[in-house]
A and B are shown apart, each in its own frame.
Chain A
Amino acid sequence: DGGITQSPKYLFRKEGQNVTLSCEQNLNHDAMYWYRQDPGQGLRLIYYSQIVNDFQKGDIAEGYSVSREKKESFPLTVTSAQKNPTAFYLCASSMFKGLYQETQYFGPGTRLLVL
Chain B
Amino acid sequence: AQSVTQLGSHVSVSEGALVLLRCNYSSSVPPYLFWYVQYPNQGLQLLLKYTTGATLVKGINGFEAEFKKSETSFHLTKPSAHMSDAAEYFCAVRSGGSNYKLTFGKGTLLTMNP
Contacts and interface: CB of A to CB of B under 8 A. Distances in A.
B102 A41 contact: no
A34 interface: no
Interface of B: 9, 34, 36, 41-46, 49, 90, 94, 96-102, 104-107
Q: Decide if the interface of chain B is mainly helix, strand, loop or mixed.
A: loop
A103 B34 contact: yes
Given A42-B90, A42-B107, A108 B100 contact: no
Interface residues of A, number: 27
Q: Chain B CB within 10 Å — which of A42, A88, A92 has the most?
A: A42
Given A43-B102, A100-B98, A106-B43, 7 more contacts: A33-B100, A40-B107, A42-B90, A50-B100, A99-B98, A105-B46, A106-B44
Contacts of A108: 42-43
